[in-house]
Amino acid sequence: MTFNGDHLAAFLAIVQSGSLGRAAETLHVTQPALSRTVRRLEAQIRSPLFERHSKGMQLTPIGEALLPHATLLQREADIAREEIDALRGLAKGTIRVGAVASIASVVLPMAIDRVLQKWPNLRAQITEGVWDRLADALIKREIDLALSIAADDTDEICAIGDCQWQDSSYVVAALDHPLRAKRKLSLADTLDARWAIPPKGTAPFEHMRQQFASHGLGMPNVIVDTRSITVLKCLVARSGFLSWMATPMYDAERQAGVIDTLEIPGVEGRRTLTAFRRRQGILPGAAVKLLDELRQLTGTVQPVSGTPRQRGGRASSSAGHSESTRRVSPRRS
């Protein structure tokens, strides 16, 4: 079945606005004209798409079934128009990328900056989240690249093998946390402290669980689980919680003197990060440009030292450069 793009646009506008009148205003058409468009689409499908009520329009089961497909078709059409405009020199393409917080903190902004210096007419839409959110956005075509911890390929998503790098995660605490005063601190000493971490089922949770298991320990006293990086940092900085974070995530807070690595010998969680794309379809040109810059940047990323920095209350100036700064040294093409 072949769908008319204007018909699908009308259908989606009504779904998003919830009423025929508001959708007509959005599309700059009259209500009777929009109503005729919807009737043509319903005639093609041979079934009503909306139930009309005094308070608005509600999707029928057939309309619910059409919605995800109409959304994907419209996104693909938008991408196609951007690609064609770019080839004609009218480039205003959009980089649609998602990233976990540690990548969104350092590597991604550097790559975006390099792309925009070369292609100033491009724009960027960035989604930050944990892997399950990014994978869903990739499948739904809300983003074209996902930057996250390396994971197994699926039928719909695959890793881009030549765009990988490493970072390390540590236990983090406020600079005035009581555990900093303890001599010969071990990971077991943190078990009874209050912890705030991402929820079970996320990659950071599993990464932390593996670190504790490697020391023969179960999980510590997790009081708060949240997907919000802002909340995690505030709990650590202001409320005495411990957390588990990759170094780029708290570099700004480390430099500000509010959060830093809790020095525990032998506790370092190293991980591989990579870019992912949809297995099927063509990668949009804007995403290709970003991927090229990521390859340039991540090609210079070096493994992290396993020895935490030494401090005397505040971060040491002699070795106080963040791991992210030391490991990502942009290479000019």
The pLDDT score that the predictor gives to residue 308 is: 39
Provide CB contacts within 8 A for 333, sequence distance 6+: 296
The pLDDT score that the predictor gives to residue 323 is 34
Q: Which of 7-16, 137-146, 203-212 has the lowest mean pLDDT?
A: 7-16
pLDDT at 234 over 60: yes
pLDDT at position 137: 92
| 108 within some domain | no
Residue 204 identity (one-letter amino acid) = P
Asked, for residue 236, whether it belongs to a domain, the answer is yes
With a cut of 50, say whether residue 330 has pLDDT above it: no
Angle at 94 (CA atoms; ends 162, 105), nearest 5 degrees:
60
Q: Give the structural domain span for 48.
A: 5-75
Q: Is the pLDDT of residue 74 over 90?
A: no
Lowest mean pLDDT: which of 244-253, 272-281, 319-328? 319-328
Last residue of a domain, one of 32, 48, 75: 75
What is the pLDDT of the chain when averaged over all its residues? 83
pLDDT of res. 238? 95
Q: Long-range contacts of range 131-139, CB-CB < 8 Å, 24 or more positions apart?
A: 131/100, 131/202, 131/203, 132/201, 132/202, 133/98, 133/227, 134/98, 134/99, 134/100, 134/276, 135/276, 137/98, 138/98, 138/276, 138/277, 138/278, 139/278
Q: How confident is the model at residue 329 (pLDDT cuts 50, 70, 90)?
A: very low
pLDDT category of residue 88 using cuts at 50, 70 and 90: low
Tell me, yes or no, whether 153 lies in a domain. Answer: no
The predicted structure's pLDDT at residue 82: 65
Average pLDDT, integer, range 298-327? 39
Q: Is residue 58 part of a domain?
A: yes
Residue 134 forms part of a structural domain: no
Rg, the chain, Cα only? 24
**3-class secondary structure, 163:** strand
User: Is residue 1 scored above 90 in pLDDT?
Assistant: no
Q: Judge whether 142 and 112 are in contact, CB under 8 Å.
A: no
Of 241, 269, 297, the residue that ends a domain is 269
pLDDT at 318: 29
- Contact (Cβ atoms closer than 8 angstroms) between residue 175 and residue 260: yes
Does position 109 have pLDDT exceeding 90, yes or no?
yes
pLDDT of residue 91: 53
Q: Is 0.85 topped by the overall pTM?
A: no
pLDDT of residue 290: 94
Q: Measured between alpha carbons, how far is 207 from 69 in angstroms, rounded to an integer?
A: 36
* pLDDT higher at 309 or 189: 189
Assess if residue 33 is contained within a domain.
yes
* Mean pLDDT value of segment 303-332: 35
**pLDDT band at 307, cuts 50/70/90?**
very low
Looking at residues 36-65, what average pLDDT do you find?
Answer: 86
Cβ-count burial of 279 within 10 angstroms (0-12 exposed, 13-18 middle, 19+ buried)?
Answer: exposed
CA distance 113 to 142: 21
Residue 117: Cβ-neighbour burial (10 angstroms; 0-12, 13-18, 19+): exposed
Of residues 290 and 204, more confidently modeled: 290
On whether residue 204 sits in a domain, the answer given is yes
Residue 131 counted as domain residue: no
- Our count of domains for the chain comes to 2
* Burial group, residue 46, by CB count within 10 angstroms (0-12, 13-18, 19+): exposed
Q: Say whether pLDDT at 201 is over 50.
A: yes
Q: Which one of 30, 60, 75 terminates a domain?
A: 75
Give the CATH number of the domain where residue 177 resides.
Answer: 3.40.190.10
